[in-house]
C-alpha cells in the first residue's frame, strides 16, 4: 500500500475528472492521500473533499499566498483548527513555510505567517507540512524559535545533507517525489539514497512536479503540451527510490507508509476507512 503525503487534489486541474484521478490512484495501490490547503478560501473545499473521498487533509496558508492574506486569515485558520482539531482526517497544519525562490514575496510577511502558523500548530498539538524552497535554514530557525516539537514533513526537500539531518533531528520526515526520477537531480537522488530509511516519505505534489516520464520541455509547453501529475504516479516514483536504495517494491511501500504514519500520526487511524462519496 502507498501513501501520497502531498497532493493538491482540490486543484482546478482535476475539476474535469477528479473521480477518475482517484480511481486510478486506488487502482495503483494508494490507500491514503493527504490534501493540504493553501489559503483560507479553500479550507472548507479541502476538508469536504477529503471526507468525500476518504482521505486526509491539512489546513494552512501557503507562502505563495501570504501576500494576499491578512490577519483575518490567521483568525480563520485558528477558528478552523479549533472547530476541527479533533477530526481524525485533519492530520497537520499545512502547507506552510517560506519560499525565497519566487521573486516579489516579502520575506518579513512570509516569516510572520510562518511563525504564527507554527504557534497555532503547537497550540493544537498538530504536526506541520512545510514548504521548503531555498529556505531550509530560516525554517529551522523558526522551529527552534517557537519551540516546535510536533514534527511533520519537509515537503519536496531539496536542501543539503546537513539541513536534512537538522530537520530529522527535529522529528521531521523528508518528502521525495517527481524530482527524484530525473537522473540530473544529483543532490536529491544522493540524499534519497543515503539518508536514514526512517526519514523518507513519498509524495507527488500533483498536479505539480511531474516525474521524468511526464515532463515537457519549455518548447513543448509553449506549443500547448501539458504535464499534469497525478497521485497514481506514486508507485513509479517509488520505483526510482527503490532502485536507489536496493529495495523491493514491497519493502519500499512498507517503509514509506510506516514513516508517513509516524510523521502524521492520525493516518494510522484512517487506514482502511473509506469516504462518504
Residue numbers belonging to the annotated binding site? 6, 8, 95, 131, 155, 205
Name the grid cell of 157. 526537500
Spatial strand order in the sheet of 172-176:
2-4, 30-36, 56-59, 90-99, 128-133, 152-155, 172-176, 200-202
9-48: burial string, b at 16+ Cβ within 10 Å, e else: bbbebbeeebeebbeebeebebbbbbbbbbbbebbeebbe
Rounded CA-CA distance 241/94 in Å is: 25
Residue 63 half-sphere exposure, CB side, CA atoms within 13 Å?
Answer: 28
Residue 138 CB neighbour total at 10 angstroms: 17
Residue numbers belonging to the annotated binding site for a divalent metal cation? 6, 8, 95, 131, 155, 205
Amino acid at each position: 500500500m502507498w501513501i501520497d503525503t502531498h497532493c493538491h487534489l482540490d486543484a482546478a486541474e482535476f475539476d474535469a475528472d477528479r473521480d477518475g484521478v482517484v480511481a486510478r490512484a486506488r487502482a495503483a495501490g494508494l490507500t491514503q492521500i493527504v490534501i493540504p490547503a493553501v489559503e483560507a478560501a479553500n479550507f472548507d473545499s479541502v476538508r469536504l473533499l477529503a471526507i468525500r473521498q476518504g482521505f486526509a487533509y491539512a489546513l494552512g496558508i501557503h507562502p505563495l499566498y501570504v501576500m494576499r492574506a491578512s490577519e483575518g486569515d490567521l483568525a480563520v485558520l485558528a477558528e478552523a483548527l479549533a472547530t476541527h482539531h479533533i477530526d481524525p482526517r485533519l492530520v497537520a497544519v499545512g502547507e506552510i513555510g517560506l519560499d525565497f525562490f519566487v521573486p516579489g514575496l516579502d520575506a518579513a510577511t512570509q516569516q510572520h505567517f510562518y511563525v504564527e502558523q507554527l504557534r497555532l500548530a503547537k497550540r493544537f498539538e498538530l504536526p506541520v507540512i512545510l514548504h521548503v524552497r531555498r529556505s531550509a535554514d530560516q525554517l529551522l530557525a523558526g522551529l527552534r524559535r517557537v519551540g516546535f516539537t510536533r514534527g511533520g514533513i519537509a515537503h519536496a526537500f531539496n536542501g543539503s545533507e546537513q539541513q536534512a539531518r537538522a530537520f530529522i533531528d527535529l522529528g521531521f520526515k523528508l518528502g521525495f517525489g517527481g524530482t527524484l526520477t530525473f537522473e540530473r537531480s544529483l543532490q536529491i537522488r544522493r540524499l534519497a539514497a543515503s539518508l536514514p530509511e526512517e526519514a523518507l516519505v513519498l509524495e507527488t505534489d500533483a498536479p505539480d512536479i511531474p516525474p521524468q516520464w511526464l515532463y515537457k520541455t519549455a518548447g513543448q509547453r509553449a506549443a500547448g503540451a501539458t504535464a499534469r501529475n497525478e497521485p497514481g504516479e506514486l508507485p513509479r516514483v517509488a520505483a526510482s527510490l527503490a532502485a536507489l536504495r536496493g529495495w523491493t517494491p514491497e519493502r519500499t511501500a512498507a517503509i514509506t507508509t510506516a514513516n508517513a504514519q509516524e510523521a502524521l500520526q492520525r493516518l494510522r487511524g484512517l487506514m482502511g476507512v473509506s469516504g462518504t462519496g
